[in-house]
Amino acid sequence: MTAWNDLFFLILTVSGAYLVLSVSFLLLSQYLKKKRISERNLFLLRRIRLLYKPIAWLIVIGGFVSLDPLPHGFLVLLISALGFRQLENYVSGLVIRSSAMVAEGTLVQAGKIKGRIHKIASLGMAIGTDQGERWVWYKSFDKAGFTLVSNQAAQQRAIYLKSKLPYSEMKTLIFAHPVLALGKEIRLKKMNTEHVYLLHYTLAKGASNEDLINFLHENEMATNNSEKFEN
């Protein structure tokens, strides 16, 4: 690379590629939600987009240094030294965020801190604990450790439904919803009361029970914690 115009073209190229990735991710995400297909199919594209950012930065930085190796290389080293701690957080975060199991709502433990992930950012994450929300830098996980706590028992639920929809149609609608864990038993049992059913299900990691409840209501299925529904 010999001219600033070349560097500018390189920046446009990597930015355009990232834009294509982001738009593809958005369109595919909307399609899967519309078709009630599990969003786990998005994991590969999500990981590619996650890893593309640092690769793109390395390519651009390499092009910048190649324009004038000594002064530009020194400038990059100086900036890297000043932001070394943040770079450590970012790199550690890439490893953690690349896991398909890390999602908002997942129960985790980092040293003495245990709670559910509220927010995932580039340099750290917010974890909701019994004492309130705690911000944890990714680099601190290298010392304290980072564990995904099995919370299957907490995710297993049961709820009563009331609907005049045919039993087979209800099963088709419910069983295809992406918030339900794949490979886990889902049972829809008819009760003695007419049009009342008992649904046993397990939420996928990081899934929201509210999303399922809203979906049931939108599809003419009332919900209740007991078999007795108000008329």
- At 117-154, the pLDDT tens digits run 888 899 988 888 767 778 888 888 777 677 776 544 44
* pLDDT tens readout for residues 66-98: 888 899 999 999 999 999 989 989 988 888 888
pLDDT of residue 156: 64
Of 27-31, 150-154, 186-190, where does mean pLDDT reach its minimum?
Answer: 150-154
Residue pair 187/200 in contact (Cβ under 8 Å)? The answer is yes
Backbone angles phi, psi at 128, to 5 degrees: -85, 115
pLDDT of residue 132: 73
User: So what's the pLDDT on residue 231?
Assistant: 63
Is 193 in contact with 186 (CB distance < 8 Å)? no
Number of alpha carbons in the 13 Å side-chain half-sphere of residue 7: 14
* pLDDT: which is higher, 209 or 41: 209
**DSSP H or E run through 140:** helix 140-144
The predicted structure's pLDDT at residue 141: 78
Judge whether 42 and 29 are in contact, CB under 8 Å: yes
Q: What pLDDT sits at residue 161?
A: 93
Range 152-224: architecture per CATH: 2-Layer Sandwich (3.30)
Residue scoring higher pLDDT (75 or 103): 75
Confidence at 40, pLDDT banded by 50, 70, 90: low
Q: What is the pLDDT of residue 2?
A: 64
Q: Which two tokens stand for residue 77?
A: 């080293």
Res 152: pLDDT? 46
Residue identified by tokens 């939420």 is 203
| pTM over 0.95, yes/no | no
Whole-number percent of the chain with pLDDT over 90: 16
Domain range annotation of the chain: 4-82, 107-148, 152-224
Closest CA to 174 of 220, 132, 142, 121: 220
Q: Distance between CA atoms of 184 and 45, rounded to whole angstroms?
A: 25
Name 151's Cβ contacts closer than 8 Å, sequence gap at least 6: 106, 107
| Cβ contact 101:120 at 8 Å | no
Q: In angstroms, what CA-CA distances link 63 with 4, 45, 231?
A: 9, 26, 70
Residue identified by tokens 């002064």 is 71
What amino acid is encoded at 147 in this protein?
Answer: T
The answer to whether 108 touches 146, Cβ cutoff 8 Å, is yes
For residues 104 and 120, the answer to whether their CB atoms sit within 8 Å is: yes
Least trusted range by pLDDT, from 31-45, 96-110, 129-143: 31-45
Q: How much is the mean pLDDT over the chain?
A: 81
